[in-house]
Amino acid sequence: MSEPILRTEKLTKTFGGLIATDNLTLSLPSGRLQAIIGPNGAGKTTLFNLISGLLKADSGRVYFRERDITGLRPHEISRLGIKRTMQIKSVFNQLSVTENLWITRQSAQRFLHPFRSAMNDRETRERVDQILEEIGMTALAKRIAGTLSYGDVAMLEIGMALISDPRLLLLDEPICGMSPAETERAVAKIRELARKVDIIIIEHDMEVVFGLAEDITVLAQGAILATGSPQDISNNEQVREAYLGRPEDEDYLEEAAHA
Ligand SMILES: Nc1ncnc2c1ncn2[C@@H]1O[C@H](COP(=O)(O)OP(=O)(O)OP(=O)(O)O)[C@@H](O)[C@H]1O
Ligand SMILES: [Mg+2]
């Protein structure tokens, strides 16, 4: 098997008395679209926060391509090539789509080339155009981000994560709030992106998860409940139990198991 893109070792994070991440040891191989699922409060976002340095673990370690990144600060981790999108979407609402991408690229580049003039940067312009194309938003380049549909904001956010050439992209519920048509478009885009960059996606929409993921990790109460192929997961009795009381998801697991 290839070297893991991401590995955690006995990772623990508590908030007061609550254990959000419970002695979590996992290893995700590169080159396969990874999904992390689990009921609300399972610790999915917390795991992304620990990986990206937004939160400090109480104990345990995080490795990115076998490099120990535990305790590094968010901008250091970002510079190593781990980019993420947030569960609560965060773009600059008053700026255009292009400006959002431009600023994100420039702020990442400033670390690398502090004396380069920002406004004449042809390389940046080309990169922005390329990303617009990749996320399917060329026609919306001049639109003010605050006026975009939910799905387009989510795609823009993915573009902002992509523009500084990530090696690993963490997507936290990118589909949440999208219409069925937007969902379909986003899923196709994410599948396309996964050919170029390693992706770990947190997602509640079972249909999306089972349609996209090659490997699924199920978290419950901060620990791994199950890992495996979509088929394994849909057949897993404990997973079904974890989703009891959510009829839609239960039905989906049932269907997937017999697909
Ligand atoms: N900053 C924080 N302070 C206190 N408690 C927190 C904090 N962040 C998360 N928690 C708690 O940790 C647990 C895990 O939260 P987390 O956001 O990681 O869950 P999740 O799996 O992403 O859930 P969801 O599917 O609802 O997004 C929850 O009980 C949550 O309330
Ligand atoms: Mg979450």
Q: Would you say the CB of residue 46 lies under 6 angstroms from ligand 1?
A: yes
Query: How far is Cα 220 from Cα 237, in angstroms, rounded to an integer?
Result: 14
Ligand nearest to the CA of 43: 1
Query: How far is Cα 110 from Cα 216, in angstroms, rounded to an integer?
Result: 37
* The domain defined by 4-92+168-257 carries CATH number 3.40.50.300: yes
Band of pLDDT at residue 143, cut at 50, 70 and 90: very high
Geometric angle at alpha carbon 214, from 213 and 216, rounded to 5°: 70
Q: Indicate the SS3 state at residue 118.
A: coil
112, pLDDT greater than 80:
no
259, pLDDT greater than 80:
no
Closest atom, ligand 1, to C-alpha of 55? 1
Distance 116 CA to ligand 2 centre (A): 38
Q: Which one is predicted more confidently, 119 or 55?
A: 55
| Range in 5-14, 85-94, 105-114, 171-180 with the lowest mean pLDDT | 105-114
User: For the chain, what percent of residues have pLDDT higher than 90?
Assistant: 66
**Global pTM exceeds 0.85:** yes
Nearest CA to ligand 1 atom 25: 40
How many Cβ atoms sit within 10 Å of the Cβ of residue 157? 23
Nearest CA to ligand 1 atom 2: 15
- What H or E segment, with its residue span, contains residue 45? helix 44-51
| Range in 23-27, 31-35, 212-216, 234-238 with the lowest mean pLDDT | 234-238
Give the sign of the dihedral formed by CA 6, CA 12, CA 13, CA 18: positive
Alpha carbon separation from 9 to 22, 82, 215, 235 (Å, rounded): 11, 18, 19, 27
Query: How far is Cα 259 from Cα 256, in angstroms, rounded to an integer?
Result: 5
Both tokens of residue 123?
A: 């390389």
Query: How far is Cα 108 from Cα 97, in angstroms, rounded to an integer?
Result: 17
Residue ranges per structural domain of the chain: 4-92+168-257
Band of pLDDT at residue 119, cut at 50, 70 and 90: low
Closest atom, ligand 1, to C-alpha of 48? 18
Provide mean pLDDT across the span 104-117: 71
- Angle subtended by helix axes 150-162 and 180-193, to nearest 10: 10
Closest atom, ligand 1, to C-alpha of 21? 14
